[in-house]
Amino acid sequence: EKGGYAHFMLKEIHEQPDALANAIRGRLDFNLGTSVLSGMGTSPRELAEISRIVLVGCGTSLHAGLVGEYAFEDLANIPAEVQQAAEFRYRNPIVSRNDLVVAISQSGETADTLAAVREAIQKGAFVMSLCNVVGSTIARETSRGVYLHAGPEISVASTKAFTCQVAILLMMALKLGRGRRFSREEGMQLAKAIESIPDLVARTVRQSDHIAEIAARYAKNEHAFFIGRGPMYPVALEGALKLKEISYIHAEGYHAAELKHGPIALLEKDTPVVALACDIPGKDKTLGNVEECRARGARILGIITEGDHEAAAVMDDVIEIPRTHPLVATIPAAVALQLFAYHVANARGCEIDQPRNLAKSVTVE
Ligand code: M6R
């Protein structure tokens, strides 16, 4: 049932080109330069009334929401914020009728996310879900939603759900953007970039053996830092979460600018720093932060855009991802880090699909 793979996690990483193709299929309209997400069940007029977006979720789904926050603000010009679902549920959140609350949950059963949904419905928000499991509680309780169509995710470490969540959030942002400041031409360009996601991911997954060789060099470390800026900041958080949950290496994700405000004190000779340094706005600043880490003797693994010699020159190791739209690039970058975490954990002999202390879905608070 693992289809010849040693673990479900590796199988699910490799399934991503197909999972993403399923998540995207039939949902892009190249004529109008927009997306078709019928599950949102909204008329253009209703969409025009949305004045704020609140994304709620936990763990990896929360990280997808953080990428979505960038997408909604950047592409659709709509103020967006992310709240940890438990925080949303207990803080007595301010929600108004023109707010769109998007609950993100692979399983559709996470207790805190479900409670956040109920709270948002109580407060009269317009509530939508992004779930993978069809007919799950969150999917049922939200009258509108978009399914990921990623296929069953068995591994406790979430992989294909994350990339499909991000792809759908980008399509939602495209749709909302087209209703606002996006021209048809701009919409078509983004739609094309989204359409290319399965191919970008296939090219990244093909580097699995190369990533395994790199990972072997990091398997003996007990600490690691992940840094990124802009939409790559949530990818850094996700890379750190993946590594810690399956390899038990203490991993922290930081905004690259935040290093100097404390964490850099922990860098020693050979401390691994994984830098999300793809060629997107802010890259030069990230490369500057990499230099600061190098000066403390850190060992740098760069996730960079293919052919970027400038970035490669300051790294000890590199994983290259294809050049694409900056928000779309988050997806192959995340896949590279999934493979890195997997191969590090495998080299350490960890039980990858069932990490200690973790459950696939957290149905208690
Ligand atoms: O099913 P959900 O997306 O609601 O699950 C949320 C988190 O429990 C989940 O993403 C968790 O963080 C994963 N183990 C991460 O790999």
Q: What is the pLDDT of residues 158-172, one digit of tens each?
A: 999 999 999 999 999
Scan for tokens 């919409």, then name that residue.
Answer: 187
Residue from 99, 57, 119, 49 nearest 82 by CA: 57
106 lines ligand 1 (CB under 6 A): yes
Sheet arrangement for strand 126-131? 80-84, 52-57, 99-105, 126-131, 144-147
In ligand 1, which atom is closest to the CA atom of 133?
Answer: 1
159 lines ligand 1 (CB under 6 A): no
- 200 CA from centroid of ligand 1 (Å): 24
- 360 CA from centroid of ligand 1 (Å): 7
Annotated catalytic sites, by residue? 360
28 lines ligand 1 (CB under 6 A): no
112 lines ligand 1 (CB under 6 A): no
Q: What is the pLDDT of residues 142-153, one digit of tens each?
A: 989 999 999 999
Residue 156 vs residues 76, 241, 340, 344: alpha-carbon distances, Å: 33, 12, 16, 16
In ligand 1, which atom is closest to the CA atom of 161?
Answer: 3
In ligand 1, which atom is closest to the CA atom of 138?
Answer: 4
158 lines ligand 1 (CB under 6 A): yes
61 lines ligand 1 (CB under 6 A): yes
- 11 CA from centroid of ligand 1 (Å): 18
Give pTM, 2 decimals: 0.97
Count Cβ neighbours within 10 Å for each residue of 344-364 and write b for 16 or more, e otherwise.
Answer: bbbbbebebbbbeeeebeeee
- Three-class DSSP category at 159: coil
Tokens read off for 179: 């209703």
As to burial, measured by CB atoms within 10 angstroms (0-12 exposed, 13-18 middle, 19+ buried), residue 43 is exposed
The pLDDT of residue 360: 86
Task: State which residues of the chain have pLDDT below 70.
Answer: none
Tell me the H-state helices in the chain: 8-14, 16-24, 44-49, 59-76, 85-90, 111-122, 137-141, 160-178, 184-195, 197-205, 208-216, 232-247, 283-295, 309-312, 330-347
Of all protein residues, whose CA lies closest to atom 9 belonging to ligand 1? 59
In ligand 1, which atom is closest to the CA atom of 358?
Answer: 14
Q: State yes or no: ipTM above 0.95.
A: yes
163 lines ligand 1 (CB under 6 A): no
